[in-house]
Amino acid sequence: MTPRDSVLAQIRHETSDRVPFTLYFEECVGERIDQYYGSSEWRDTLVPYIVSCGGIDRRRSDPVSETHDRDLFGSLWRTDLRPFHLEEPALKTPSLEGYDFPDAEAFANPELRLSAERTREKHPDSFTVIGMGWGLWETYWGMRGFEEAMMDCVAEPEFFAQVLDRLTDLYLAQIAQCEDVDADAIMFGDDWGEQRGVMLGPERWREFMKPRYAKIYEAAHAQGKFTISHCCGSVADIMPDIIEIGLDVLESVQPEATGMNPYELKARWGDEITFWGCLGSQSTIPFGTPAAIQEEVRHLKREMGAGGGYILAAAKALQPETPTENAVAVYEAFIEND
């Protein structure tokens, strides 16, 4: 099996000869692993099961100073701190009066098709993904501010729905730009969950997000592409809904969040959706011993990969606080028997 074949098999819920994986890390962590091995040659042993072929940057912004950017929706972000954060939302009141809503052409990536062709040439045996960036909820609160967005869904539901409809139309137009791009999947991203559950609550998520994402996933499927979504936090309460509207792969799968034990998710829904992630970035990776990390990775490969439906990864890219010996343990466990 090629690396792409292994990914396809898992998404189709078939057994593959190897459990595919991705290993992402903050560069400072990679540099420490370089120092541990005395060179960067270890990076060449990472099989490129999944590669990005470019995307459409939905958070495109222009610098206004050394510390601040303004995005195409008009919001001001501070970018010199980690993580970057919103300082001035574009919409200070729940109204679109006088607001110039950006169109899809403002975000267009004219190089996307060529980028995909070059990626295919460089990685002919890899599963290729178009990145679509921030989703409906994250874009909305990026326009209004997080607290205001949480209040809008209750106090201003008509306005909330109006803006989400405009954002959905924008999303669909951007997906249309991918029609002739040779890629296997479109990867979306929207953090619906926090540590305890769905931010909007399951009922409001079903009212506001579900029907709109159903259209988005349908548009991607109409191009013959799989749908992948990054989502942090707990979404166990809406897992049947996510499956119903056509999400093929859920990425991150933070095991520390409520209801997100990967083995329980696999038992309940493993034949209907593929899970990508599951290795704890808030627990096992920073606080486990190297031996515990290696044992958990083996367990994930054995249990989650059985019968398909799994792509191995850390729930988050290896963070700066990851001990070097733990980062090395993750790497060595990932490539074991690969």
Q: DSSP per residue over 269-321, as a string?
A: HTTTSEEEEEE-TTTHHHHS-HHHHHHHHHHIIIIISTTS-EEEEESSPBPTT
Query: Could you give the C-alpha distances from 268 to 32, 230, 248, 258, 279, in angstroms and in order?
Result: 39, 20, 15, 15, 19
Can you tell me the distance from the alpha carbon of 50 to that of 20, in angstroms, rounded to the nearest whole number?
A: 8
Mean pLDDT in the chain? 96
Structure confidence by residue, pLDDT tens digits, 1-60:
999 999 999 999 999 999 999 999 999 999 999 999 999 999 999 999 999 999 998 788
In the chain, where the domains are located = 3-56+110-335
Position 82 scores a pLDDT of 80
| Percent share of the chain, pLDDT over 90 | 96
Position 228 scores a pLDDT of 98
Structure confidence by residue, pLDDT tens digits, 255-289:
999 999 999 999 999 999 999 999 999 999 999 99
Position 155 scores a pLDDT of 98
| Amino acid type, 252 | S
Range name among 37-46, 103-112, 243-252, 293-302 with the lowest pLDDT average: 103-112
CATH architecture of 3-56+110-335: Alpha-Beta Barrel (3.20)
Interacting residues of 198 by C-beta distance below 8 A, sequence separation 6+: 192, 205, 233, 234, 235, 237, 238
Check the CA dihedral 113-117-120-122 and report its sign: negative
Query: In the predicted model, is pLDDT for residue 324 greater than 80?
Result: yes
What is the mean pLDDT of the segment spanning 170-175?
95
Structure confidence by residue, pLDDT tens digits, 187-221:
999 999 999 999 999 999 999 999 999 999 999 99
